[in-house]
Structure 1
Amino acid sequence: PEIFSLTNPQIALFLGRLWSGDGFIFGSGNTVPFYASSSIKLSKQVQMLLIRFGIITRLAKKSFKYQGTRKLGYALYLTGEGSTKQFIKHIVPHIVGRSHIIKSLQVHLKKNSSKHGSRDTIPWEIKQEVRKEKDLTGKTWLEIEKETNLSMREFYGGYHPVKRGFRRNTILKLGKYFHSNQLQNLACSDIYWDEVKNITSKGLKETFDLTMEKNHNFVADGVIVHNSHSAAYALLSYQTAYLKFHYPTEYMAALLTTEKDNTDKILHYVSDCKNRGIKILPPDVNESERDFYSIDNQTIRFGLAAVKNVGEAAIENVVGARNAEGNFKTLFDFCERVDSRKVNKRMLESLIKCGAFDYTNATRASLLASLDNAMEYGLSRQRDKISGQSRLFDLLGSAEDQPKLKDVPKWSERQMLAFEKESLGFYITGHPLTQFENLLEQYSNANTVTAQDAPDKKEIRLGGICVKLREITTKRGDRMGFVTLEDLKGVVELVVFSDIYAKTHLLIKETDKPIFVIGNLDSDGETVKIIVTDIFPLDDVAERLTKSIHFVLHKDETTPNHLAQLKNVISRFPGKCPVYLHFIEPQKTETILELSSEFKLKPSFQLVADVQKLFGHNVTRFSC
């Protein structure tokens, strides 16, 4: 109807005149204004127009007296004090002939404002968020009740069937008390919460794709909806969830292939695979294809296209040569059979560094040191074939004329992993944190996976490697950083504010140096970040966090000779941590003795190793 294209002042005039005829304003038996009609269509249209002014109404069937009989009709009841106030502000000025009744409504509203319940409430489930905020303060319900002057009775205990929800003013006051943005936003939102009674299928009908330019959400027929393409997204989400559950390796292989050029996402998906028990095998020139692919329901082979410096044309040439003549036997055989115009030295270096030639059983250091010789050999053999020359070894089908690999020292694990990360963007065959697993288990209270489910504001302690850093300048001109921290389970984002960043930026920028992080969890229900309060080298964690040192000794280890040797060992590690001796007689007693202050120790791995060498097993415990 044309009425929907009018301006709000024009619609207000229309509704005022409409209310003058069939509208109820105020009476001794009913203090809630409503509009009555025998037409369901007209009632719903009026309901839509009222929404423009923030006036929420409830549509109900009503029986009216009509020419000596009862007739079924409909009534639109204003919902909540806020709707009544908006009604008085926008619609009432245009109602004619009802001034004395209007004055009665205004007097009643002023006298009873905020004294009665409201249907414009926030659902009772909000109490779960209030409980979380309460737990973070450490206060009791009684203390909160006294400090807010609000009754807390409804916020503990179970679900009350008659409880519709909580007034917005109540939640707003609690939001300010707890300094909770989430509670304050819910209390001040424009959303009117109502319960879905049922969903009825309308069958197959023609629909239209309506998209709003700037607002993804909008109101249609009184209901907040998304742009219509969201339905397609929902269907796509269902389909991908189905594939991920029933075909996990195929799904993850396809996902990794799709994001092969995005190292950040590849890192995230590789972590997801680890958590799901899916193993990702490193690149292999004899096994890998261009894309990631599923070997079985627990294994994925890395795709060559995700290796840095490896192009599409080169991959096509490598796979073609392999399909034509079989697997490559050696690095020299590979260089002889591929096209050197497409497979260049930079690409071969990346393939060696990431382990794509590990099938030869040669060390990566030896392969890289011999690369120039291998490429020269390959180019020479290709020229011979082009000129029609052949060698005796060709006729015999032997590879005896191939040069030998150079004998060079093997890379350290740290060096090998650094090259691996250089060529792939992350670690795949190992991790620098592996050697610190026991240390992390003792001093951490979370990892990058368990942190996702930890409560908001909880103090988090974990170790990891900085794999990405984004620096920004604050309004005050200071530098701060957003760090992606990787551990053995996955990744998490750290927020390092300027005061901490000024002290630790050099450490953060040492990307291969394991660090230990202490901070507070910041979760909005969808994303998780850690607001950092301290960062230091992982090597220092024992000294920084150990509060006491304990030596647990069994009865046969407490001879005078053993104790004399223990005293001799610990005398070499003076420090500040108190020391306790535990004398254990299995299934009988445990005696704990605190040593005097002269025996206070400095916690170190060398101390653990020396004491372990003395007793033949680890008897040292660091308590943090």
Structure 2
Amino acid sequence: MSRIDNKKVNKKVTESLIKAGAFDSIYPDNRFTARAKAMDTLVSSSRANGFGPGLFGEGGILDEAVKPWDENTLLNNEKESLGFYISGHPLTRYRKTLSSMDIVPLSYVEEKDERADVCVAGIISEMKSKAKEKGITAYLTMEDETGRCDMLVFPDLYKKSTDILKKGNLVIIRGQVFKSEKGAKVMAREIQNLTEMEISTKYEVALRCGDFKETAEKLVTIKKLLGDAPNGKDSVSFKFYLPEYCVIIASRLQPAGNFAFEAEKITGETVRIL
């Protein structure tokens, strides 16, 4: 690092490389911890010595207790530095819950008929607005794991949805397909914030009941996860099938709790939606 021309590879460039995962292999951790440590090392070495030494252990102090990045931070940093996601997509953790709804992948909107009713979900990646005689009209670009699609929001709906219509928000939009020479877009009729929606969903979680201590720890973690989910408390029933499996039936959980996604990480088993 000390031999690198700082005019070509300055601190900002190195930050972008860290956010993109270029230094993940330097630290023997998962990518969430590796990138947090790399960024912490860069910041501490810059303060101590000015930019240059430190990222590869040539200077600076590495705090072993650095808090790992959460998934949103990691994905947002990838998007910021590369212009796209490489480790996943913000919508992925909601996909299992959304499977109970009639959601159309954004890449399929083009195949729909003119004026067809559709319901789509995604993240607002671009947004601009234009003032007209009847009010402000918004032009959005939404992205999901399959592609992107433009949305048109007329003044009345825009006025009702100003708190939701922000770049980076996850939303569900219902509307009609409109086609032109530039391609298909959706004229929005209803907009909802995905992270605040109330959807009654019943889940089945299978937990292997092997080592007692390990099983107990997983149950405690799942209990906390249920408590963190909106409407999660007092809405869970348990069915035990010993000695191999414990099946947990959880109902009336909102997708904002990301229950299915997180439960699969805890148990290593597929969560079913009933």
- Please indicate, yes or no, whether the TM-score normalized by the shorter chain is above 0.5: yes
Q: Counterpart amino acid of 2:41?
A: S
| Bigger shift: residues 534-543 or 367-376 | 367-376
SS in 1 for 2:38: helix
Give the alignment of 1:34-73 within 5 angstroms. Answer: none
Partners of 1:500 and 1:365 in 2: how far apart? 40
| Matching of residue 427 in structure 1 with residue 98 in structure 2 | no
1:519 aligns with 175
SS in 2 for 1:505: coil
Q: CA deviation at 1:550?
A: 8.6
Give the alignment of 1:241-320 within 5 angstroms. Answer: none
Contact in 2 for aligned 1:460/1:521 (Cα 8 Å):
yes
Q: CA deviation at 1:374?
A: 4.1
Contact in 1 for aligned 2:45/2:61 (Cα 8 Å):
no
Contact in 1 for aligned 2:107/2:146 (Cα 8 Å):
yes
Q: Counterpart amino acid of 2:140?
A: V
2:188 aligns with 532
Deviations 1:347-398 (A, max 9, x none): 111111121211213621111111144458887999xxxxxxxxxxxxxxxx
Partners of 2:52 and 2:137 in 1: how far apart? 56
Contact in 2 for aligned 1:340/1:379 (Cα 8 Å):
no
Contact in 1 for aligned 2:113/2:177 (Cα 8 Å):
yes
**Partner residue of 1:496 out of 147, 153, 170:** 153
How many pairs align?
217
Q: CA deviation at 1:614?
A: 7.2
Greater fraction helix: 1
Q: CA deviation at 1:605?
A: 6.7
SS in 2 for 1:340: coil
Q: Counterpart amino acid of 2:144?
A: D
**Partner residue of 1:348 out of 14, 25, 42:** 14
Partners of 1:462 and 1:363 in 2: how far apart? 34
| Matching of residue 370 in structure 1 with residue 41 in structure 2 | yes
Paired-residue identity, %:
26
Q: Counterpart amino acid of 2:176?
A: N
Contact in 1 for aligned 2:118/2:174 (Cα 8 Å):
yes
Q: TM-score, with normalisation over the residues of structure 1?
A: 0.31
Q: CA deviation at 1:409?
A: 0.7
Q: CA deviation at 1:612?
A: 5.7
Contact in 2 for aligned 1:433/1:488 (Cα 8 Å):
yes
Asked which structure has the greater CA Rg, the reply is 1
SS in 1 for 2:75: helix
Contact in 1 for aligned 2:235/2:252 (Cα 8 Å):
no
1:611 aligns with 237
SS in 2 for 1:483: strand
Greater fraction strand: 2
Partners of 1:380 and 1:457 in 2: how far apart? 56
Q: CA deviation at 1:618?
A: 4.3
Q: CA deviation at 1:535?
A: 0.5
SS in 2 for 1:442: coil
Partners of 2:124 and 2:43 in 1: how far apart? 34
Partners of 1:378 and 1:506 in 2: how far apart? 44
Deviations 1:394-438 (A, max 9, x none): xxxxx9865552231111111122222222233221211111011
- Relative contact order higher in (CA < 8 Å, ≥ 6 apart): 2
Give the alignment of 1:224-623 within 5 angstroms. Answer: 335-361=1-27, 363-374=34-45, 403-407=60-64, 408-476=66-134, 478-509=135-166, 511-524=167-180, 527-543=183-199, 606=232, 610-611=236-237, 616-618=247-249
Partners of 1:607 and 1:452 in 2: how far apart? 41
Partners of 1:347 and 1:381 in 2: how far apart? 12
Deviations 1:446-477 (A, max 9, x none): 1101221111111111211100001111133x
Deviations 1:290-349 (A, max 9, x none): xxxxxxxxxxxxxxxxxxxxxxxxxxxxxxxxxxxxxxxxxxxxx223212321111111
SS in 2 for 1:418: helix
Partners of 1:456 and 1:352 in 2: how far apart? 45
Partners of 2:3 and 2:101 in 1: how far apart? 53
Partners of 2:70 and 2:23 in 1: how far apart? 18
Deviations 1:34-53 (A, max 9, x none): xxxxxxxxxxxxxxxxxxxx
Once superposed, what is the RMSD of the aligned Cα atoms?
3.5
Contact in 1 for aligned 2:151/2:188 (Cα 8 Å):
yes
SS in 1 for 2:164: helix
SS in 1 for 2:67: coil
SS in 2 for 1:370: helix
Contact in 2 for aligned 1:516/1:541 (Cα 8 Å):
no
Q: Counterpart amino acid of 1:507?
A: I
Q: CA deviation at 1:604?
A: 6.1
Q: Counterpart amino acid of 1:487?
A: D
Q: 1:494 to 1:611 in 2, by over 3 A?
A: farther
Q: Counterpart amino acid of 1:369?
A: D
Contact in 1 for aligned 2:20/2:82 (Cα 8 Å):
yes
Q: CA deviation at 1:444?
A: 3.1
SS in 2 for 1:337: coil
